[in-house]
């Protein structure tokens, strides 16, 4: 019966079996050490006597080790395995392209990405995804606890709806089809069915720019729900969701945080909110600007930290002209919208808001853009609205971007398992 390496310290004096990868071999004059890596951490195994077997077990070879646990203050966790019987479970491994046993990653990002199947084994590289997996757990836990229904919507769609640009086209049984850029239309339709829905799934953007922030395929965490008063209700659910994600990262990926040397921020119960017009003033920007420049966002972030002690701040009321057609206007002044960006450390983390919910509003909003509600691109989507939809809204969190911000990764690819971009389609 195999135990995990982190269970070794509580088995002193017992005979145990562990299994994992040869992480590192260290030869001293009288003795050698085999450091074994499994999913829970590292184990130290003391090899005395003939060294031939150890010589044959290159790093990354998978082995099973049975031996006796002995206390040793210098070993990881204060215990090690002595008098081991080592059984290889595979043929000897080839030397990895990256030295996985070094505490820091000795290779540049392109080498890491080219060799992802092996590079991801490095405890520091792996940490990014451990945090992502924990965040996914927290996201679902928060929304399941609030009566949301999980949905899974099609990724192959018949029309390039949300925006004709940056969409991947494919051959669908001889006809045209596209990869969904977001589940926006579907999640809204399903508010009409389940009231409160969430989806975790891939979205696709044929992003023609090669930046540290963009991927051609990423994981979108979407939520949408009905019977709201306005976008402030959406912000409240977003706050509790992010709080749950951060808590899950702390409890489920504590080791990964430690390896990366980062801590989880606090999100206040009342996230500070400023109107877009106020944000421009705080940033000292031209009051006619239709959007916040990166420097403006940083200034607003600094303001929130200074005035409210918060690393999070929401900017609401973005100009309608910069928001998608389904955005609900601010009732008191329709130049502005009932939508918001949530900034974290001065950078946009999540976009959300209230949507239009009356069919006549959609007809008008599309007409302004010279489009027809009867067009095949919208007719199915808008069927839900012809037959009664409640006031609703929602938000979308980009998983990789969320983790990159949290871990202060410079490039979103550092925390993506197998990134896809303009130049990368493998591994």
Least distance (Å) from its own copies to the CB of residue 298?
Answer: 30
Encoded tokens for 96: 């990895």
Q: Which residue lies nearer to its own copies by CB, 290 or 390?
A: 390
Piece in contact with its own copies (CB under 8 A), picked from 28-36, 47-55, 74-82, 374-382:
374-382
Nearer to its own copies, 199 or 297 (CB): 199
Q: Scanning residues 74 to 113, which ones bind its own copies (CB under 8 A)?
A: 89-91, 93-94, 96
The structure tokens listed for 286 are: 């031209």
Quote the tokens at residue 387.
């037959």
Which residue from 204, 318, 326, 395 is in contact with its own copies, where contact means CB under 8 A? 204
- 158 sits near its own copies (criterion: CB under 8 A): yes
36 is in an annotated binding site: no
Least distance between its own copies and beta carbon 149 (Å): 5
| Residue 224 interacting with its own copies (CB under 8 A) | no
400 is in an annotated binding site: yes
Tokens in use for 404? 């990159």
Q: Does 195 interact with its own copies (rule: CB under 8 A)?
A: yes
Q: Which stretch binds its own copies (CB under 8 A): 70-78, 168-176, 320-328, 347-355?
A: 168-176
User: Applying CB under 8 A, which of residues 258, 383, 408, 410 lies at the interface with its own copies?
Assistant: 383
Alpha carbon distance 392, 327 (integer Å): 11
Using the contact rule CB under 8 A, the part of the chain among 172-180, 239-247, 276-284, 291-299 near its own copies is: 172-180
Is 206 a known ligand-binding residue? yes
- Per rule CB under 8 A, is residue 209 in the interface with its own copies? no
Rounded CA-CA distance 304/293 in Å is 17
> Which tokens belong to 151?
């949905």
- Residue 384 interacts with its own copies (CB under 8 A): yes or no: yes
| Residue of 65, 160, 190, 234 interacting with its own copies (CB under 8 A) | 190
Q: What is the dihedral of CA 185, 188, 189, 193, to 10 degrees?
A: 150
Site string for its own copies, 15-54 (x = CB under 8 A): ----x-xx---------------xx---------------
The answer to whether the annotation marks 401 as part of a ligand binding site is: yes
Please identify, using beta-carbon distances, which residue of 176 and 294 lies nearer to its own copies. Answer: 176
Residue ranges in 306-365 that form contacts with its own copies under rule CB under 8 A: 357-360
Of 14-22, 24-32, 71-79, 268-276, the segment contacting its own copies by CB under 8 A is: 14-22
Nearer to its own copies, 19 or 75 (CB): 19
Interaction between residue 177 and its own copies (CB under 8 A): yes
| 290 binds its own copies per the rule CB under 8 A | no
In DSSP terms, 169 is beta-bridged to: 178
| Residues of this chain, 134-153, that bind its own copies according to CB under 8 A | 136-137, 140, 144, 147, 149-153
Q: Which is nearer to its own copies, 147 or 290 (CB)?
A: 147
Instruction: Report the binding-site residues for L-aspartate.
Output: 162, 205, 351, 355
Instruction: Report the binding-site residues.
Output: 162, 205-207, 213-215, 348, 351, 355, 398-401
């Amino acid at each position: 019966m195999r135990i995990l390496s982190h269970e070794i310290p509580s088995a002193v004096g017992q005979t145990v079996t562990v299994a994992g990868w040869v992480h590192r071999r260290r030869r001293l004059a009288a003795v050698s050490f085999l450091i074994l890596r499994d999913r829970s951490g590292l184990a130290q195994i003391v090899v005395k006597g003939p060294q031939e077997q150890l010589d044959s077990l290159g790093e990354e070879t998978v082995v099973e080790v049975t031996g006796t646990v002995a206390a040793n203050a210098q070993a990881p966790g204060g215990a090690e395995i002595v008098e081991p019987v080592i059984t290889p479970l595979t043929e000897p491994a080839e030397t990895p392209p990256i030295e996985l046993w070094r505490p820091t990653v000795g290779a540049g990002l392109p080498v890491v990405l080219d060799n992802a199947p092996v590079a991801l084994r490095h405890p520091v590289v792996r940490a990014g995804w451990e945090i992502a997996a924990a965040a996914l757990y927290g996201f679902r836990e928060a929304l399941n606890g609030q009566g949301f229904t999980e949905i899974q919507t099609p990724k192959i769609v018949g029309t390039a709806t949300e925006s004709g640009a940056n969409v991947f086209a494919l051959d669908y049984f001889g006809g045209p089809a596209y990869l969904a850029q977001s589940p926006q239309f579907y999640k809204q339709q399903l508010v009409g069915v389940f009231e409160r829905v969430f989806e975790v799934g891939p979205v696709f953007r044929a992003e023609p720019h090669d930046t540290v922030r963009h991927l051609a395929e990423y994981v979108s965490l979407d939520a949408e729900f009905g019977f709201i008063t306005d976008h402030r209700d959406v912000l409240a659910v977003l706050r509790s969701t992010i709080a749950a994600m951060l808590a899950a990262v702390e409890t489920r990926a504590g080791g990964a945080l430690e390896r990366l040397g980062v801590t989880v921020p606090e999100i206040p119960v009342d996230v500070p909110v400023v109107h877009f017009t106020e944000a421009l003033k705080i940033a000292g920007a031209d009051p006619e600007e239709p959007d916040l420049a990166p420097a403006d966002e940083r200034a607003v972030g600094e303001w929130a930290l200074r005035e409210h002690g918060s690393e999070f701040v929401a900017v609401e009321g973005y100009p309608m002209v910069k928001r998608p057609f389904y955005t609900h206007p601010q009732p008191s002044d329709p130049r502005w919208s009932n939508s918001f960006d949530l900034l974290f450390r001065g950078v946009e983390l999540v976009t959300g808001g209230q949507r239009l919910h009356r069919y006549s509003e959609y007809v008008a909003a599309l007409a302004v853009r010279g489009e027809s509600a009867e067009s095949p691109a919208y007719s199915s989507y808008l069927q839900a609205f012809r037959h009664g939809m409640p006031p609703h809204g929602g938000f979308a969190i980009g998983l990789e971007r969320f983790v990159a911000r949290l871990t202060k990764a410079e490039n979103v690819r550092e925390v993506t398992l197998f990134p896809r971009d303009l130049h990368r389609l493998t591994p």
